[in-house]
Structure 1
Amino acid sequence: MQATATTTPATDAARGVIVHPSGPDDVAVYRLYDKDGDLLYVGMSKDPIHRWADEHRHRYWWPEVASYEWAWHGSRAEARRVERELLSTGLAKYNVHSTPKHGPNQHRQREAS
């Protein structure tokens, strides 16, 4: 069973609910939104807060993040499947890999590795 954290867009700072994993192999798929609720980025991590601490220093678009949500999945394979499903829509503004924006060559290269 997956646990989910959700929030509505905030104007001053990113806000959300922290839900901890239920098992040692759980991996979160997270979504970052702007103040209008538009999807900015989709990612996965065993520790989203730690990941974001790094990303906020390296992503020029980080100041646009106003809210987030994440859902825990029981394995990395399941999280990857969900992440790819979300990315395949092409709605995440700043994702490139595993999206229609990147093209078919990238998918073939990733499958080979």
Structure 2
Amino acid sequence: MIHPGARGKDTEETAVYRLFDAEGRLLYVGMGRNPMQRWGSHAEQHPWWPRVVRFTVKWHPTRQEAAAEERQALRSESPVNNIHGTERHGLVTGAGVRRELELRRAAQRRRAEQAAAASDPE
């Protein structure tokens, strides 16, 4: 497996990455010269990030080739959380975002309750 980190600054190599959840659903398709850095941004900005359990990375010699693969993947693979470049672009409502945030908060509450129960000396 090729390391998903950055390529050297003297190259145009660009990766297309796919992020999957535990059920194998394609959550997101993206591209960049440093996928790990992009994933850090996703982790900070997107409520769906905690569901990512697996990724694939494919390197392309040029940004143009990577962009072509990303566009094709967005059209044909229907990643759950991509908006730009998909038929959902412009149709996103706040309801989906609110639901994601509710699920994330519920999961955080469950983890906190489990941690509290595990540390209770009873």
Same fold (TM over 0.5): yes
- Note if contact 1:31-1:41 (Cα within 8 Å) is conserved in structure 2: yes
Q: Please state how far the C-alpha of 1:91 moved relative to its aligned partner.
A: 1.7
Corresponding residue to 1:88 among 59, 65, 75: 75
1:65 equivalent to 2:52? Answer yes
Corresponding residue to 1:30 among 17, 34, 48: 17
- Note if contact 1:89-1:99 (Cα within 8 Å) is conserved in structure 2: no
Larger relative helix fraction: 2
Q: Which runs of structure 2 are paired with 1:1-113 in the superposition (5 Å)?
A: 5=1, 18-19=3-4, 21=7, 24-89=11-76, 91-102=78-89
Which amino acid is 1:29 matched to? V
- Output the TM-score relative to the length of structure 2: 0.65
Q: Please state how far the C-alpha of 1:61 moved relative to its aligned partner.
A: 0.5
Unaligned segments of structure 1, at least 5 residues: 6-16, 104-113
Q: Deviations over 1:1-30 (max 9, x none)?
A: xxxx5xxxxxxxxxxx62565871100000
Structure ID, larger Rg: 2
Unaligned segments of structure 2, at least 5 residues: 91-122
- Note if contact 1:40-1:65 (Cα within 8 Å) is conserved in structure 2: yes
Which amino acid is 1:31 matched to? R
Identical positions, percent: 38
- Output the TM-score relative to the length of structure 1: 0.70
**Larger RCO, structure (CA 8 Å, separation 6 or more):** 1
RMSD between aligned residues: 2.0
